[in-house]
Structure 1
């Protein structure tokens, strides 16, 4: 039994076979999926999917840094309302992305802090996106994120950066498809991270793991990430599945929604 802690199954790339994709994941042992919104509309859609699949899909609500310029007082108010729904288990996906820079840096930083405040108000965990922005994320978390909890989704840094992320007691690291590929420091991070502070995800439909040959990632493929994590840590897939599922249930409160299991 696995939890895909981050999958955008609300996107148009699943429009033609969304239900079949969800059922394939369940049949393959991926029994719960967290779908984080990237803007107001996708947050609303993620919540709708969660209501349609109780105990299987759970929603996050937030605005991705690429769309930070769309964040207004009205959007914030609507996200706050959505966050009251029991199927919403996180604030996010939000963060800083200095790689593509689709929103100005100062806007991204302001919206990042607004999400931290929303997480504090709602007492929900954060799903944080970090790309080429580690130092700024750490700075803002130290200033505004004390006492919060959450996950650095699709972690892509090195051991030193991982240690800095884990210095925030309530936060976990999540591994995705890049863990299965060469040319990064993730194997070392995967070995050093405490077992009770790690999650697995797909970031579907992106970041297809090896050895999958597909044009689109999907929740079922989180098994490959978990298997790679098991290999690196000298564990069985079952042991990693149990640990990461326990961590996801603890972080997101998924244990309260088991109707479909």
Structure 2
């Protein structure tokens, strides 16, 4: 599915062990598919080294974020956050992420997740950079926690958006973008009922590699080279051409990350 249009993957964990044996060829394949830029959300303390190594090797194409994934929030989260904040103070990162709430795997650390989320949102406000929000099984609560923290400058992406039209409209009203990934290609993903009613100016593309591969690659490792399948499905749902989706979502991403 070779594409000439430039695409941007706003969310890919290409530094994980799933890519340790073929990182270079995987990235070359992505570039050959027109994926010109890949934004890397951090997960925890252990993920930083590999993430920064990829950014150093591909400074024009791969960009690091800094943050603590909600599933990595544990009893000692405040100590972890201090180390991450030191990283954020030492150099520039494109965003604070991946941060938020996850009620899917466990409810053991809900209060800690909410506190960690608030702290990291305030980092983004301080640094004037966007946030990348994880909200699995927690979208309404995430919106409740975020709303009092909003200011005129705070923006970002609700990553892996799979919510309702009302939730999408609320996110847009709050000044955020919807990150659309492989779920849009799934038969029961639900986005077919939402995206036809949402303007393209509110969407960005993402793979969440190595997770959530789009059809026809379900069951395999996901990678940024599969981004065109996501763009094509959005185009089909909205009755527009692939080029329009590519151009507008790329423009949206570049603007968000201050690269336009």
Query: Structure 2 length normalisation: TM-score?
Result: 0.92
Asked if 1 retains the 8 angstrom alpha-carbon contact of 2:67 and 2:97, the reply is: yes
Which of 48, 55, 63 pairs up with 1:58? 63
Asked if 2 retains the 8 angstrom alpha-carbon contact of 1:43 and 1:62, the reply is: no
Partner residue, 2:174? 168
Please give the alpha-carbon distance, in whole angstroms, between the structure 2 residues aligned to 1:27 and 1:85: 34
Q: Secondary structure at the match of 1:248?
A: helix
Identify if the C-alpha distance between structure 1 residues 70 and 227 changes in structure 2 by more than 3 Å, giving closer, same or farther.
farther
Please give the alpha-carbon distance, in whole angstroms, between the structure 2 residues aligned to 1:209 and 1:251: 24
Please give the per-residue CA displacement for 1:95-135, whole angstroms capped at 9, x wherever unaligned: 11111116511111111111111111111100000111122
Equivalent runs, 1:175-186 vs 2, <5 Å:
175-186=180-191
Query: Any gaps of 5 or more consecutive residues in structure 2?
Result: 1-5
Asked if 2 retains the 8 angstrom alpha-carbon contact of 1:65 and 1:103, the reply is: no
Please give the alpha-carbon distance, in whole angstroms, between the structure 2 residues aligned to 1:105 and 1:64: 13
Equivalent runs, 1:187-206 vs 2, <5 Å:
187-206=192-211
Q: Secondary structure at the match of 2:94?
A: strand
Q: Secondary structure at the match of 1:99?
A: coil
Paired residues, what number?
254
Q: Secondary structure at the match of 1:41?
A: coil
Q: Secondary structure at the match of 1:160?
A: helix
Partner residue, 1:258? none
RMSD over aligned CA atoms reads 1.7
Q: What is the CA distance between 1:164 and its match in structure 2?
A: 1.3
Partner residue, 2:234? 229
Which of 4, 7, 29 pairs up with 1:2? 7
Q: List, as ranges, runs of 4+ consecutive aligned residues in structure 1 with deviation greater than 6 Å.
A: none
Query: Structure 1 length normalisation: TM-score?
Result: 0.92
Asked if 2 retains the 8 angstrom alpha-carbon contact of 1:43 and 1:60, the reply is: no
Query: Any gaps of 5 or more consecutive residues in structure 1?
Result: 256-261
Partner residue, 2:81? 76
Partner residue, 1:259? none
Partner residue, 2:139? 134
Partner residue, 1:146? 151
Please give the per-residue CA displacement for 1:71-116, whole angstroms capped at 9, x wherever unaligned: 6444333323333566621100011111111651111111111111
Please give the alpha-carbon distance, in whole angstroms, between the structure 1 residues aligned to 2:75 and 2:252: 32
Identify if the C-alpha distance between structure 1 residues 84 and 242 changes in structure 2 by more than 3 Å, giving closer, same or farther.
farther
Q: What is the CA distance between 1:218 and its match in structure 2?
A: 0.2
Q: Secondary structure at the match of 1:83?
A: helix
Please give the alpha-carbon distance, in whole angstroms, between the structure 2 residues aligned to 1:205 and 1:234: 29
Please give the alpha-carbon distance, in whole angstroms, between the structure 1 residues aligned to 2:125 and 2:226: 33
Q: What is the CA distance between 1:236 and its match in structure 2?
A: 1.1
Please give the per-residue CA displacement for 1:6-38, whole angstroms capped at 9, x wherever unaligned: 000010000000111011100111010001001
Q: Secondary structure at the match of 1:165?
A: helix
Identify if the C-alpha distance between structure 1 residues 113 and 44 changes in structure 2 by more than 3 Å, giving closer, same or farther.
farther
Identify if the C-alpha distance between structure 1 residues 45 and 84 changes in structure 2 by more than 3 Å, giving closer, same or farther.
farther
Please give the per-residue CA displacement for 1:34-84, whole angstroms capped at 9, x wherever unaligned: 010011221343223112201100011111111111664443333233335
